[in-house]
Amino acid sequence: MGTARLELVRGTPSGGPVEPRDATASPARVRIVDGALSCIARQGVARITLDDVARAAGCSRATVYRVFPGGKDAVLGAVVDTEVSRFFSALAVRMGEAADLEDVLVAGMTEAATLISGHPALGNLLAHEPELVLSQLAFARMDQVLAVTCAFTTPFLGRWLDKAEAKRVAEWSARIVVSYLLCPADGVDLTDAAQVRHLVRLFVLPGIRALRVPQGAAPRSLQYHRSLPTTKGEAS
């Protein structure tokens, strides 16, 4: 079947913006993808076969090949596509409900950390085949992951920040999530909204305020900074 390889994102041939791959959600495709996910959660990637996937999906091996002519690599690619789509869909719901900048940061970081840390298949890979995941989070591959994430989350932050600052804060927040998930720290649980809110108030919001332009600059540049929520004891 060849060497299985997972790609979290792909770039355009010209080196332009990167985007999650599209997923065609036919019923057979969804059953096979979910079957493959359950296999990965139990066995990892290297050990699963198309027979395993077919049994988990409740279909024949021939059906798997009919839906995915590329075999195991095609199935694995569809798994990544589908889970990336599901991740961003859930993230959109949570961030879309936010009422202010602090809330959207807390919602986005908490939801992302919860989805990633609680994913059974991803957890098994990190425990037993970490090279498949960690290779996607190094050097240029990490830049692509951040680019996709920032492109998605920037518009949600853009309700309170201008475009340039929204993009910067989106990347900053994504790096915080990745850092704490890969290198956990005592007393910091990003799946706990109260802890994330404390982190946002202590570091993220003051960091945004520190970017305030000098007095006398164009009023439009100050408008989004003035709308930032204040923490307890801080002058409004």
Task: Tell me the whole-structure pTM to 2 decimals.
Answer: 0.81
Adjacent-strand bridge partners of 10: 19
- The pLDDT tens digits for 172-220 are 999 999 999 999 999 899 999 999 999 999 999 998 988 755 545 544 4
- The pLDDT tens digits for 27-62 are 999 999 999 999 999 999 999 999 999 999 999 999
Where exactly are the structural domains of the chain?
A: 27-226
DSSP 174: H
Of 117, 86, 91, the closest CA to residue 104 belongs to 91
CATH 1.10.10.10 for domain 27-226, yes or no, is: no
Query: What angle do the packed helices 163-182 and 101-117 form, to 10 degrees?
Result: 30
- The pLDDT tens digits for 65-96 are 999 999 999 999 999 999 999 999 999 999 99
